[in-house]
């Protein structure tokens, strides 16, 4: 006799930030939600520097209080270093309305807090359960699921949200993957006991350092509240392929070349596995389809330079949840105009600034001493995650960055 098929209004694939927030928002509307998570929490994840825009979605999902109670590192801006140059943007001094501060978080704890809060609100999460097939079925989606103990079962869902991150479950199953237009790059990263003893070092900001000789090579240093930090370097794939050491050796060698960064980290203890991630930029042919939509990294991932990943994930979760609610309420939402196009507004903005970082247009702006206070506030807003605020001229027309960079260079 066949096992009964379980019925849910929405199945969410993945319990990371996009999955937790979207499931919470839909649960608030009274829908029966199931989250299927392949891994067991807590688990390591990269992408620890949040942007203030995230706080809006944490509030909406009733998760902010739990996050604030968790003693994560306060964050109020982003600092940039290149040779002897040092500039910073204070997110509290920005063009857009909204939060000006946020947190720098160890993602294993942060993601578990969000998932736990979703469960407390009534969302069902099954850890160690993988979606192995997703097929259309009448006006639903039929998912084949396998637990990590080998159990298999079927689930019917009126709608499926893929929040699987780099796992990209539905893009792979439904042949939606598309090559990114961004240049392939690779990152090497780890967590360290930073032992930073310089009193002038600002733990309230992520520090982005440009390699003194290779402008396309950059480092992140994200301090946590417990004396530890996330450390990583991003470089063209072909450059890293010339380095013959272990990932740890290569990371330490590159840090030794990092100018001021090398001195900041002179006492650091490398006590955690060093990981690598290559060709991470990705895209899809469509962000939605028949009774499904892609959230966050499952749809498109740009680059870690501006810590936009979690912000895009949460924004997609908010947009998708409201559009799914319309559809399940009997309306016929236009997924292109109500989900894909609004989401792509912010992605387009971040993408222009990512490309501008690597071709040095945005580096020229960052390190310019002549940019006005108004321009600084507009740029600060984008770096704070407000890449959807079309009142900002650099969101309404991101290509204005080229003109700004030229003005900064000429000055």
Domain ranges of the chain: 6-72+103-179+281-346, 185-278, 353-410
Question: Side-chain half-sphere of 151: how many Cα atoms within 13 Å?
Answer: 9
In the predicted model, is pLDDT for residue 272 greater than 80? yes
Tens of pLDDT, residue by residue over 194-246, are: 999 999 999 999 999 999 999 999 999 999 999 999 999 999 988 888 998 99
Strands 228-236 and 185-193, sheet pairing: antiparallel
Pairwise CA distance, residues 186 & 303, whole Å:
10
Q: Answer yes or no: is pLDDT of 281 > 80.
A: no
Please classify residue 118 by burial: count the beta carbons closer than 10 Å to its beta carbon, then call 0-12 exposed, 13-18 middle and 19+ buried: buried
User: How sure is the predictor about 147, in pLDDT bands with cuts at 50, 70 and 90?
Assistant: very high
Tokens 């140059």, residue located: 85
Indicate the pLDDT class of residue 1, thresholds 50, 70 and 90.
very low
Q: What is the pLDDT of residues 84-94, one digit of tens each?
A: 899 999 999 99
Which of 60, 15, 8 is CA-nearest to residue 30?
8
Which residues lie closer than 8 Å to 64 by C-beta, 6 or more apart? 55, 58
pLDDT single digits (tens) 315-360:
999 999 999 999 999 999 999 999 999 999 999 999 999 999 999 9
Residue 158 vs residue 409, higher pLDDT: 158
Q: What's phi and psi for 88, nearest 5 deg?
A: -145, 160
- Is 81's pLDDT higher than 90? yes
**What's the pLDDT at 402?**
95
Per-residue model confidence (pLDDT) at position 389: 98
Kindly tell me if the per-residue pLDDT of 409 is higher than 80. Answer: no
CB neighbourhood size of 160 (10 A) = 27
In DSSP notation, 168-204 reads -HHHHHTT-EE--SSPPEEEEEEEEE-----TT--TT
Percent with pLDDT over 90 in the chain: 88
Tell me whether domains 6-72+103-179+281-346 and 185-278 share a fold. Answer: no
Task: Indicate the average pLDDT of the chain.
Answer: 95
pLDDT category at 411 given cuts 50, 70, 90 is low
- pLDDT (average), residues 176-199: 91
pLDDT of residue 410: 64
The yes-or-no verdict on residue 301 having pLDDT over 90 is no
CATH number for the region 185-278 comes to 3.30.9.100
User: Residue 2: pLDDT above 70?
Assistant: no
DSSP helix/strand/coil, 87: strand
- According to CATH, the topology of domain 6-72+103-179+281-346 is FAD/NAD(P)-binding domain (3.50.50)
């Amino acid at each position: 006799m066949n096992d009964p098929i379980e019925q849910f209004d929405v199945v969410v694939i993945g319990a990371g930030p996009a999955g937790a927030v979207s499931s919470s928002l839909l649960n608030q509307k009274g829908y029966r939600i199931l989250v299927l998570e392949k891994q067991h929490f807590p688990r390591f994840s990269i992408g620890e520097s949040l942007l203030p825009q995230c706080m809006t979605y944490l509030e909406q999902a009733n998760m902010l209080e739990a996050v604030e109670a968790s003693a994560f590192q306060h964050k109020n801006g982003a600092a940039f270093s290149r040779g002897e140059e040092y500039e910073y943007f204070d997110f509290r001094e920005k063009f857009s309305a909204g939060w000006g501060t946020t947190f720098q978080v160890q993602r294993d704890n942060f993601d578990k807090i969000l998932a736990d809060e979703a469960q407390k609100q009534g969302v069902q999460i099954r850890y160690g359960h993988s979606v192995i097939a997703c097929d259309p079925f009448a006006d639903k989606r039929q998912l084949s699921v396998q637990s990590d103990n080998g159990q298999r079962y079927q689930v019917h869902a009126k709608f499926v949200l893929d929040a699987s991150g780099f796992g990209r479950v539905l893009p792979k199953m439904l042949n939606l993957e598309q090559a990114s237009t961004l240049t392939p790059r690779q990152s090497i990263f780890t967590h360290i006991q930073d032992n930073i003893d310089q009193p002038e070092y600002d733990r309230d900001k992520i520090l982005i350092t440009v390699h003194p000789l290779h402008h396309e090579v950059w480092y992140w240093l994200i301090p946590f509240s417990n004396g530890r930090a996330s450390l990583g370097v991003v470089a063209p794939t072909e450059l890293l392929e010339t380095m013959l050491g272990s990932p740890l050796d290569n990371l330490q060698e590159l840090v030794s070349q990092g100018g001021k960064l090398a001195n900041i980290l002179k006492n650091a203890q490398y006590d955690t596995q060093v990981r690598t991630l290559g060709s991470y930029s990705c895209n899809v042919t469509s962000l939605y389809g028949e009774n499904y939509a892609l959230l966050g990294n499952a749809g498109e991932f740009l680059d870690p330079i501006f810590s936009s990943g979690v912000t895009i994930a949460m924004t997609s979760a908010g947009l998708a949840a409201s559009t799914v609610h319309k559809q399940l309420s009997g309306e016929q939402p236009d997924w292109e105009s109500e989900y894909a196009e609004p989401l792509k507004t912010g992605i387009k903005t971040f993408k222009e600034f990512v490309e501008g970082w690597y071709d040095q247009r945005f580096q020229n702006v960052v390190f310019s001493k002549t940019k006005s206070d108004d321009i600084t506030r507009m740029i600060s807003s984008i770096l704070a995650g407000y890449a959807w605020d079309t009142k900002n001229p650099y969101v309404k027309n991101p290509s204005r960055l080229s003109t700004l960079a030229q003005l900064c260079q000429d000055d």
